[in-house]
Amino acid sequence: MLTLNLSKLNGFIPEDYLVSRQEKLAQAAQMLADHSGPGGDFTGWVRLPQDYDKEEFSRIQRAAAKIQKQSKVLVVIGIGGSYLGARAVIELLCSPHYNLKQKETPDIFFAGNGLSTDALLELIQLIGDRDFSVNIISKSGTTTEPAVAFRIFKAMLEEKYGKEGAKERIYATTDKARGALKGLADTEGYEEFVVPDDVGGRYSVLTAVGLLPIAVAGVDITQLMGGACQAMEELAVGGLDNLAWQYAAARHALYQAGKKVELLACYEPNFRFFAEWWKQLYGESEGKEGKGLFPASVEFTADLHSMGQYIQQGERLMFETVVKFAPKGEFTIPDDPANVDGLNFLSGKPLAFVAEQAMRGTILAHVDGGVPNVLVELPAISASVVGYLIYFFEYVCGLSGYLLEVNPFDQPGVEAYKKNMFALLGKPGYEDMRAELEAKL
């Protein structure tokens, strides 16, 4: 389903970059398979496309159907891995303009991923007096941004529908046994779905964390899981022909050759939030101990007219990974008898042909300018294709982290800003720290 073109790395990394890493790749693959590496307790995602909870999966589908029937709006509350995966898949499969389209499924809005007053007030205005439901996604229930948002929307539901009516419209995706949200959901009687103990947030899109909102949008989550399962089976076969091994080895070799930024590029505007999901996946997994490629993204061809200059002639610290999908349909460029724009040489040609040549020309220019290129090609965008790509990137990320000799499944650095924020907000127990921070400010 996926092809990988690494020919544009020639001259940038040693010819034996793959063979020289074969032993370490085999070790990394084994650690992922038997959960024995650093962070092994959080590698449940490796077999997830086959071993997922089938009963919960059915409940997700039933809950999605209930939300579709009962509500015109679903508010998904979460931050980081608790919302990026769902939004990525919905926008890639259904359009970035999903809420503007005529459809039978509810509008889906994402909240709790920031602290903007203006954004919150706008969202409340967009919901208006329409019937709505809430999916709160948090393992603990105490993460500041989603917890504040849930307070607000829970109160709105209870005011609109009463306490009993509100509980029929709140769906809690949280820890299976403990935590503030788990306790509240048990007490109030919300329908609950599980954030698995052995799957970290940024790897959780194929759990209830992502699947419930995705299903509400009308995506066939069975096909999504089927594509991921195909990737799982294919990538479990080790060896130098394994595409994940090839990509992980290339990334590691480029990093060791001095490339510090990986630029993910796509020529489809609906890929934007998939790139945001990818950035969290790789940034949190590799960026520690003073190591790791910095994950960035661009949308071509638009960003060729803004970032293209830097990519072409700026500091030579990056390489590109380009994701290319086959087009679903066809549009032919019309003829203009006056030929005002001088483009009649394109008359009668498919727009996809023009896009293809733009991509090929860009790759050649960037490689000539010192930017190595990896090309990932896939069939037309579908649920199974997206499921495959999700798993491919997750698996490569696990291999890459182990090649870097870091734990790809923790994120200790994320806690630093939280402690400072709690102190400055006056959270009990942080009084001494607050005085110290105020002095610095």
Which residues are catalytically annotated?
284, 305, 418
Angle at the Cα of 440 (from 437 to 441), degrees rounded to 5? 90
Per-residue tokens: 414: 């994320």
Q: Cis peptide leading into 3, omega within 30 of 0?
A: no
User: In terms of residues, how long is the chain?
Assistant: 441
CA proximity to 28, closest of 43, 17, 13: 43
* Region for residue 287 given its phi and psi (left: phi exceeds 0; alpha: psi -120 to 50; beta: otherwise): beta
The residue written with tokens 């891995």 in the block is: 81
Cα–Cα distance list, 278 to 137, 394, 434 (Å): 19, 9, 35
Q: Which residues contact 69 (CB under 8 A, 6 or more apart)?
A: none
Angle at the Cα of 439 (from 438 to 441), degrees rounded to 5? 65
- DSSP for 112-157 reads SS---HHHHHHHHHHHTTS-EEEEEE-SSS--HHHHHHHHHHHHHH
Cα–Cα distance list, 359 to 33, 169, 237, 302, 355 (Å): 37, 46, 32, 12, 6
Per-residue tokens: 438: 């105020």
Distance CA 68, CA 72 (A): 7
CA proximity to 374, closest of 9, 10, 11: 9
Distance CA 398, CA 147 (A): 30
